[in-house]
A and B are shown apart, each in its own frame.
Chain A
Amino acid sequence: MTAVPNGHDGLITARGLYLSFGAIPALVDVDIDLWPGEVLAVVGESGSGKTTLLNVLSGRVAPDAGAVLYTDPEGEQHDVHTMPAPALRTLHRSDWGFVHQDPKQNLRMNVSAGGNVGERLMARGARHYGTIRAEAIDWLTQVEIDADRVDDLPRTFSGGMLQRLQIARTLVTHPRLVFMDEPTGGLDVSVQARLLDLIRTLVARLGIAAVLVTHDIAVARLLAHRIAVMQRGRVVETGLTDQVLDDPQHAYTQLLVSSVLQV
């Protein structure tokens, strides 16, 4: 299950992650490898440690033990938890993106839709108003939001539109790696399907790598190349998505897969 540590090709290499909240272990002996352009889904029931893992991989929460290494486009490795805070912030603004389950965590609700998208570009150093606005409109269209909504405030948007706006805001800077926490959670099923196809298409076209946390196995099947199954803070099984779902080896994965309702 554990790959040989490899310092030069992997985008993210995490080894021996351990974190406990009081007496409750949230992560135990977790190793994760992510390759450029690869989508990894982390599945498991509530409380299995999925979101904690996402927060530790993205440097938002420090582990008690273990390390997360990120390889930048120049091939240089950075320890996400020992690098200076400003450098980590820069990483989050440029190479990385984060898509939250609740888009309001990421969006600025009193700034126009176009402003929300343009802001990420400005944070990266873009200064020309016309260019920023044109690119913002282009991205709104890519996530299927009408260009004439560019000056509207997000609070006039539906839940599905807010989620698409968050995706536009995240992807406008062409990140190499996106962390997604239940990106389709809390949305109507009809909206989910469209959003899934959108995420799938954009991620494939831009060659983005992603770590996707979901409790929905169908979402994992559609979006992910590879799956890691978590139970009580441990990764109990990992492998090719269709292999893990169609031929699960671990008792917990077999339970998880056999519990899905068929429609």
Chain B
Amino acid sequence: MIRTEGLAKTFTLHLRGGMQLPVFSGIDLTVHSGECVVLSGPSGAGKSTLMRSLYGNYRAGAGHIWIRHHGGMVDIAASEPRIVLAVRRETLVYVSQFLRVVPRVSTLDIVADEPITRGIAPDEARDMAGSLLLRLNIPRRMHGIPPATFSGGEQQRVNVARGFIAAHPILLLDEPTASLDAENRSVVVGMIQEAKARGTAVVAICHDADVRAAIADRLYPLSPAREAA
């Protein structure tokens, strides 16, 4: 579902006199359908940067990112914006650590947005969103409220709901359980396992050893790049 070839990323900081910040290079990562690969390594090793590159959020410095989209392979690293957007709309979901939304839109509408864009009737989409939020222990009385005032853990669960409602074939999860209590952690773990059983390919970052043991089929280790000379 995902295959990277010689993927490399270096940041150039123009405001710091063009300082070069190499993050990783020569990344060859393959993820199959129904498989969960957990990116491992210390902070600063480039796990989130790799994940953002897979999503096309960061530009690849070199190499290819092949993503299976509608039966064909699309290179995210070399595609036009509208192709990348189509891949995100139908194939690729990224659940980031932070919730970023239009202010003053209700939690239910935020989660229902993806199915509505996909053409599902608004009422049906809101029903789907409502049950998913309930499963993640966001009580119904909170569904009509924008998530801005929610706690960190609640916002993270809204973010998870928004990612999982899509049921896309590839899931990228950046610390999906970081600020969750044990009960909600196990709900999310259950959802990840169900997604895998459906054949979803999962790439995850998670520091929690129990969660990792429950979801990972394999680890992909990353180590911090050496400073450029």
The proximity string for A residues 233-254 relative to B, scoring 1 for CB distances below 8 Å and 0 otherwise, is 0000001101100110111001
B59→A243 contact, CB < 8 A: yes
Which residue on chain B has the smallest CB distance to residue A227?
Answer: B81
B102→A243 contact, CB < 8 A: no
- Complex CA–CA separation, A35 to B80 (angstroms): 12
Residue in B56, B59, B82, B84 whose CB lies within 8 Å of A249: B59
Report A-chain residues with C-beta under 8 Å of the C-beta of B82.
35, 38, 225-226
B56→A200 contact, CB < 8 A: no
Residue in B14, B81, B104 whose CB lies within 8 Å of A239: B81
B43 an interface residue at 8 Å Cβ cutoff?
A: no
A222 an interface residue at 8 Å Cβ cutoff?
A: yes
Q: Is the interface of B mostly helix, strand, loop or mixed?
A: mixed
A193 an interface residue at 8 Å Cβ cutoff?
A: yes
B58→A197 contact, CB < 8 A: no
Interface size on B, residues (CB 8 A): 20
B131 an interface residue at 8 Å Cβ cutoff?
A: no
A20 an interface residue at 8 Å Cβ cutoff?
A: no
A92 an interface residue at 8 Å Cβ cutoff?
A: no
Report B-chain residues with C-beta under 8 Å of the C-beta of A222.
102
Which residue on chain B has the smallest CB distance to residue A197?
Answer: B102
Report A-chain residues with C-beta under 8 Å of the C-beta of B105.
197
Interface size on A, residues (CB 8 A): 24
B103→A246 contact, CB < 8 A: no
Within 8 A of A (CB), among B5-23: 11-15
Residue in B14, B15, B59, B81 whose CB lies within 8 Å of A247: B59
B129 to chain A, nearest CB (A): 16
Residue in A193, A197, A242 whose CB lies within 8 Å of B57: A242
B14→A240 contact, CB < 8 A: no
B117 an interface residue at 8 Å Cβ cutoff?
A: yes
A258→B81 contact, CB < 8 A: no
- Complex CA–CA separation, A243 to B80 (angstroms): 12
B151 to chain A, nearest CB (A): 18
Which one of B56, B85, B102 has the greatest number of beta carbons of chain A within 10 Å?
Answer: B102
Residue in B12, B13, B57, B104 whose CB lies within 8 Å of A243: B57
Report A-chain residues with C-beta under 8 Å of the C-beta of B12.
249
Report A-chain residues with C-beta under 8 Å of the C-beta of B85.
225, 240
Known: A35-B82, A240-B84, A243-B58. A254 touches B102 (CB 8 A): no
Report A-chain residues with C-beta under 8 Å of the C-beta of B80.
3
Which residue on chain B has the smallest CB distance to residue A254?
Answer: B14
Report B-chain residues with C-beta under 8 Å of the C-beta of A197.
102-105
Report A-chain residues with C-beta under 8 Å of the C-beta of B168.
none
Known: A197-B102, A243-B57, A243-B58. A255 touches B15 (CB 8 A): yes
B35 to chain A, nearest CB (A): 27
B52 an interface residue at 8 Å Cβ cutoff?
A: yes
Report B-chain residues with C-beta under 8 Å of the C-beta of A240.
56, 81, 84-85
Q: List 16 A-B contacts (CB under 8 A).
A: A35-B82, A197-B104, A225-B81, A225-B82, A226-B81, A226-B82, A240-B56, A240-B81, A243-B81, A246-B52, A247-B11, A247-B57, A249-B12, A250-B14, A251-B14, A255-B15
User: Which residues in A have some Cβ–Cβ distance to B below 8 Å?
Assistant: 3, 35, 38, 193-194, 196-197, 200, 204, 222, 225-226, 239-240, 242-243, 246-247, 249-251, 254-255, 258
